[in-house]
Structure 1
Amino acid sequence: MFVVRSDSGITDAAQLAGKPVVTQSGSSALTALTDDPGDGSNDENLALAASFSALDEVPDYNTAFMNLESGANDAIAVDIGVANFQLKTRGSDKFVMLEKPLSTEQYGIGFKKGNTELADQVKATLDAMWADGTFQKIAAAAAATYDAPELADMLCYGE
């Protein structure tokens, strides 16, 4: 996602051409803008990043938001969860999120090799949570807390 100042007039990522953008070092947003797997799957993001006047890296998103507030950068490339939290705590009247995400991510859970008992217990619990709607209830609560109605649409267990 990109976050811009609400008074910037920027409404889509293409308008970031020629502008300085900031993100956190080591973030998935940085990877989405700079990773070239060599198969063309990220060419759109690479071209977008090449259009920026700069892609600055800072150690944390608090610094990125200070840069945006001060005008040092015109946009922040950020994960949607961080963006929603920052907009909620800093004031959604000051910033807006652009519509199109940079990328999507899937998460997994790892276990020590050979610990199938724990893996089976966790899988059974997650299966039950999915089947009884607990995942959806958690997503709905988070969506309300962070003003992020799209969270419910992002659930994909076992897909």
Structure 2
Amino acid sequence: MKKFTKILAFAATACLAAALVAGCSGAPEKQELAAQPAPAEQQTPEADAPAETTKLIVGYDNSYPPYGFIGDDGNPTGLDLDLAAAVCDKLGWEFEATAINWDAKDALINQGSINCIWNGFTMEGRENDYTFSEPYMLNEQVVVVKAGSDIADLADLAGKTVVTQVDSAALDVLDGDQKELADTFAALDQLTDYNNAFMQLESGMVDAVACDLSIAAYQMAANPGAYTQLPTSLSSEHYAVGFKKGDTELAKQVTDALKELYADGTVQKLCEKYADYGVTVDNWVLFE
């Protein structure tokens, strides 16, 4: 009996060992199957994920009417800000207007705080520093004096004090192509914005203001009879939207949208909105 009991115990042990061996040898096979990726048709393609909306962060000078300024209601307004908002609406983008210090614009666009400069921004002479949209508006650099001044043309500026904005297109011209003229001035002062420049002109602290044609038109429209624009301009140029160097796709999308906005009449309406500020659609140069 003892011998038979030992045989039964041995047999039971052998069966248990065999079961354990069989169980262990099957486990890796199941784990390997579990690790296999799901069939391609069951996977969610990346294309199904919602596309990220482009956000256009426009850097602008909030004391640069009629292109960018603070309206009577305390909100940002101006032709360029309205154009930017219309572009974003057409393309389904988010729009954000960010008031900047004009002389900090390069640092801001390079670090990504803004992704375009859209504020009566002259492209000539800056082509190596930015990627631009196609030009959309004709502009000139002109000189404005007080009505009744003895300054009738550019030659009469000799010995006079002229003021312009820091890092402006007018300053670039007077430091470049018109340097010989600027060398005849008693002084060429620089201020942070044109509103202060025209206040100094009105008070007699300076004799003339060198500025964009649009700025001159705005100041003369806002102050009838107060100022006179000299008949000879300093230069002729164009406004465009400036982007970080190499951002060609964004520039192209904005250019194409502006062409469409001209075609559908939006540009005409916006220029009429700012007609009292001296804006005219006759200076628009971007078409289909």
Q: TM-score, normalised by structure 2?
A: 0.44
Mapped contact 2:262–2:287 kept (Cα < 8 A)? no
Quote the residue 2:185 is aligned against.
52
Residues 73 and 31 of structure 1: CA distance in aligned 2, closer, same or farther (over 3 Å):
same
2:260 to 116, 119, 128: 128
Q: CA deviation at 1:145?
A: 1.6
Q: CA deviation at 1:109?
A: 4.9
Can you give the 5+ residue segments of structure 1 that lack an aligned partner in the other structure?
Answer: 36-41
Partners of 2:150 and 2:232 in 1: CA distance? 16
Q: Deviation string for 1:8-30 (max 9, x for gaps)?
A: 03222121112111112221111
Quote the residue 1:152 is aligned against.
281
Q: CA deviation at 1:152?
A: 3.2
Quote the residue 2:87 is aligned against.
none
1:26 to 151, 159, 167: 167
Between Structure 1 and Structure 2, the one with more strand by share is 2
Partners of 2:247 and 2:179 in 1: CA distance? 40
1:102 to 228, 234, 240: 234
Residues 13 and 153 of structure 1: CA distance in aligned 2, closer, same or farther (over 3 Å):
farther
Letter in 1 for 2:161: P
Partners of 1:114 and 1:55 in 2: CA distance? 35
Q: Which has the higher contact order (CA 8 A, sep 6+)?
A: 1
Letter in 1 for 2:286: Y
Mapped contact 1:4–1:98 kept (Cα < 8 A)? yes
> May I ask how many residue pairs the two structures share in their alignment?
146
Q: Which moved more, 1:64-73 or 1:49-58?
A: 64-73
Quote the residue 1:13 is aligned against.
154
Largest Rg, 1 or 2: 2
Partners of 2:226 and 2:161 in 1: CA distance? 18
**SS at 2:145's partner residue?**
strand
Mapped contact 1:111–1:119 kept (Cα < 8 A)? no
Q: CA deviation at 1:84?
A: 2.2
Quote the residue 1:39 is aligned against.
none
**SS at 1:157's partner residue?**
coil
Partners of 2:191 and 2:247 in 1: CA distance? 39
Matches within 5 A, 1:67-86: 67-86=200-219
Letter in 2 for 1:53: A
Letter in 1 for 2:281: A
**SS at 2:163's partner residue?**
strand
Residues 113 and 8 of structure 1: CA distance in aligned 2, closer, same or farther (over 3 Å):
closer
Partners of 2:158 and 2:224 in 1: CA distance? 24
Mapped contact 2:263–2:287 kept (Cα < 8 A)? no
Can you give the 5+ residue segments of structure 2 that lack an aligned partner in the other structure?
Answer: 1-141
Q: CA deviation at 1:55?
A: 0.8
Partners of 1:77 and 1:2 in 2: CA distance? 4
Quote the residue 2:271 is aligned against.
139
Mapped contact 1:16–1:51 kept (Cα < 8 A)? yes
**SS at 2:189's partner residue?**
strand
Q: TM-score, normalised by structure 1?
A: 0.74
Q: CA deviation at 1:140?
A: 4.2
Letter in 2 for 1:20: T
Partners of 2:239 and 2:181 in 1: CA distance? 23
Report the RMSD for the aligned CA atoms in angstroms: 2.8
Partners of 2:159 and 2:200 in 1: CA distance? 17
Letter in 1 for 2:260: A
